[in-house]
Structure 1
Amino acid sequence: MTMTELIRLHYPILDFKKPVQQVVAMGFFDGVHRGHQAVLARAKAEAEKQGVPLAVLTYDPHPIVAFQTLKQPLRYLTPLAKKKSIMSQLGVDRVYVMQFTSKLAKLGGQQFVDEVVMQLNPVTVVAGFDHLYGAAGTDSDMLHLATYATNRFDVVTVSEFDDYNQKVSSSTIRSMLDQGNVDGATQQLGRIHSTSGIVVHGEARGRELGFPTANIQTPEKEWLPGIGIYAVKIKVYDTWYLGMASIGRNVTFGDARPITVEINILDYQEEIYGEFVQIQWCHYLRGEVKFENVQSLIDQLNEDARQTRHYFNAKL
């Protein structure tokens, strides 16, 4: 794995020491999905061919903050630390994180190239076919990038990445997760969608039912799947365990309850309050159901555990 350097930038870029020549891949890259991976693989090949480092120019926060009123907190498929980690595995040497501000959002395409891109000393710039930069409503697209470059760097545009004739995109993956379709998200991401969290005290109701759960407080920025029951893997300390997870409101025990994340870790009894854990959302089992009585719930939990074991055994 490459030891990736992260460098934060703010426009206007001042007191910045220009790096050695490098290939620069541009994009927001939320999810670093299979389409993004194709862009980074092409950029890595260019960098190796020319014997220069590979850098990424990305943004934080999401550009939407400069254009729209937010109706809910910003969430990401891959918050910045996870994005950097995945990019390290893909051979990226340096990640430039440009603060996305109103000033940056107003730059025309030529100005963006002259005052932002050229600061990174690119020998080649690589991006997906639909990548936009600079002000909305201008010619800040890949078709015009070579014109703005004026022979100062080469431009490589990576074409659309499809999976069974469906465009692979961050928005598609977010929609799939919201619908509970974690299997589809896995296909588009090229890996299992994961989140993290801290184990906190809950109502201990699962323990009373014979299914003790780890209640997970998830960071606000991370994109959880929609309400439902899932087969998951959970990493505690340095070991992965199988589990069944509930994202829901525990409607059997009352209405208008807050959404919680609870995981029954199979064949595991230790208390782990305060531990940082990672969760892989492997497979959707069913939706949340309001049960008529506690015994019906217990019967269903036994069936969920059976289905979870069956799913993972079939994967072996």
Structure 2
Amino acid sequence: MKVIKIHHPLDESRVEPGPIVLAMGFFDGVHKGHQQVLKVARAKADELGVKLAAITYDHHPGIVYHQLTKADTQYITPFDRRMALLEAQGVDLVYLVNFTGQFSALNPQEFVNQYLVKLGPRVVVAGFDHTYGAPGTDADMTHLADYATGRFEVETVGEQDADGQKISSSSIREALDKGDIESVNDLLGYAFETQGVVVHGLARGRTIGFPTINIVHPSDQWLPGIGIYTTEVKVGDTWLPGMASIGRDVTFGDNNPVTVEIYLLDFKGNLYGEDVTVRWHTRLRGEQKFTGADALVEQLNKDEVQTRSFFKI
């Protein structure tokens, strides 16, 4: 998959020749709703015998429109992961637009004229709630055909639901904050994954029979809420089952930073410095403050029994 970076104004020499089908979206999570958009777009591209392209943005548009929130700077799928998921959905080409104040100042007709038309789409596909301009304007899918004036077709994909819940990036972020990984994975259509590097911790787990790896994640990665989880950790090409703790290690103090620690079942070895992928499966419980190490170990033994049951080992 080819990624072409664009800074406003569009340099037409960077546009790939030939007609395309163009999917629009930020695609954070590339969840089931996004997947349906891409499935429709891929089918159109195959029908017409052209490439499937996606137009998306390097960071969340909210950075331009309002004061920063967590949702503007942390993502379900940071950039590399988002690109990999788009490629897995059959996208051939990504136009990655640097979302700046100048770009955001385009009115809907200017965006269509200066970007969509010049990218050469036969069909433009997006979800029913996709917008392509400043909040409060008519930059929505209902009006896109009017702005297109017959220069391309418009295909709008309707709302996608899972068990009666609208599938959206915001609902996935809310579920992540609650630690509801089962709902997250249902809305995504795949197991939620994060990437990080193994670093040294305080080694408390080693002293109580539960040695853990400490994983530092990039600052733009949205993590599950505090709790204990069943996970798998990919080291090289091998997936290792484990149980993860996201929390403040409250048994040993009240002001500890939030860390991600994972106890790998039946594993011994030195993983410091390894770049790893964590796949999140279920939430076992919330974080608890125990009276001491013995009570903590008793609970960890119970957690391990549940984890082994989940993995059937």
- TM-score (normalised: structure 2): 0.97
- Corresponding residue of 1:47: 45
Partner of 2:265: 266
Aligned residue type for 1:34:
K
C-alpha deviations, 1:180-212, integer Å up to 9, x for none? 000100000000111011000000000001100
Runs of 4+ in 1 over 6 A off after TM superposition: none
State the one-letter code of the partner of 1:132: T
Structure 1, residues 44-89: CA drift from partner, whole Å, max 9, x if none? 0000000000000001110010012114571111111111111111
Letter in 2 for 1:171: S
Q: C-alpha displacement at 1:16, in angstroms?
A: 2.5
Deviation at 1:137, TM superposition (A): 1.5
* Paired position in structure 1 for 2:36: 38
- Confirm or deny: 8 A CA contact 2:19 2:120 kept in the other structure: yes
Counterpart in 2 of 1:86? 85
- Mapped partners of 1:154, 1:71: distance in 2: 35
1:6 corresponding residue in structure 2: 3
Partner SS state of residue 304, structure 1? helix
1:223 and 1:71 mapped to 2: Cα distance? 12
Shift of 1:107: 1.2
| 2:223 is equivalent to residue 224 of structure 1 | yes
Farther off after superposition, 83-92 or 66-75 = 66-75
Corresponding residue number in structure 2 for 1:239: 238
> Are residue 250 (structure 1) and residue 249 (structure 2) matched?
yes
171 and 251 in structure 1: CA distance in 2 versus 1, 3 angstrom threshold: same
Q: Tell me the amino acid that sits aligned with residue 57 of structure 2.
A: Y
Which residue in the other structure is 1:109 paired with? 108
1:137-286, aligned counterparts within 5 Å? 137-286=136-285
Alignment of 1:57 with 2:59, yes or no, is no
- C-alpha separation in 2, matches of 1:263 and 1:156: 45
106-115 or 13-22, which deviates more: 13-22
Does structure 2 retain, via aligned residues, the 8 Å contact 1:129–1:159?
yes
Partner of residue 21, structure 1: 19
Q: Secondary structure at the match of 2:279?
A: strand
Unaligned runs of 5+ residues in structure 2 are: none
- Tell me by how many angstroms 1:14 deviates: 2.3
CA contact (8 A) 2:197 2:274 kept: yes
Q: Let me know the Cα RMSD of the aligned residues.
A: 1.1
Q: Give, in whole Å, the separation in 1 of the partners of 2:128 and 2:194.
A: 29
Q: Which amino acid aligns with 2:121?
A: P
Partner deviation per Cα, 1:89-125 (whole Å, 9 max, x = no partner): 1111001111111112121111000011112111100
Q: How far apart are the structure 1 equivalents of 2:169 and 2:254? A: 33
Name the structure 1 match of 2:66: 68
Q: 1:237 to 1:289 in 2, by over 3 A?
A: same
Q: Name the CA distance, whole Å, in 2 between partners of 1:308 and 1:17.
A: 50
Could you tell me the TM-score, scaled by structure 1's length?
Answer: 0.96
Give ranges in structure 1 of 5+ residues lacking alignment.
none
Q: Aligned letter for 2:52?
A: L
Q: Give the 3-state SS of the residue equivalent to 1:303 in structure 2.
A: helix
| 1:271-292 CA distance string (max 9 Å, x none) | 1100000001100000000000
- Which one-letter code corresponds to 1:23 in the other structure? V
Partners in 2 of 1:89 and 1:259 — Cα distance? 33
Identity between Structure 1 and Structure 2 (%): 50
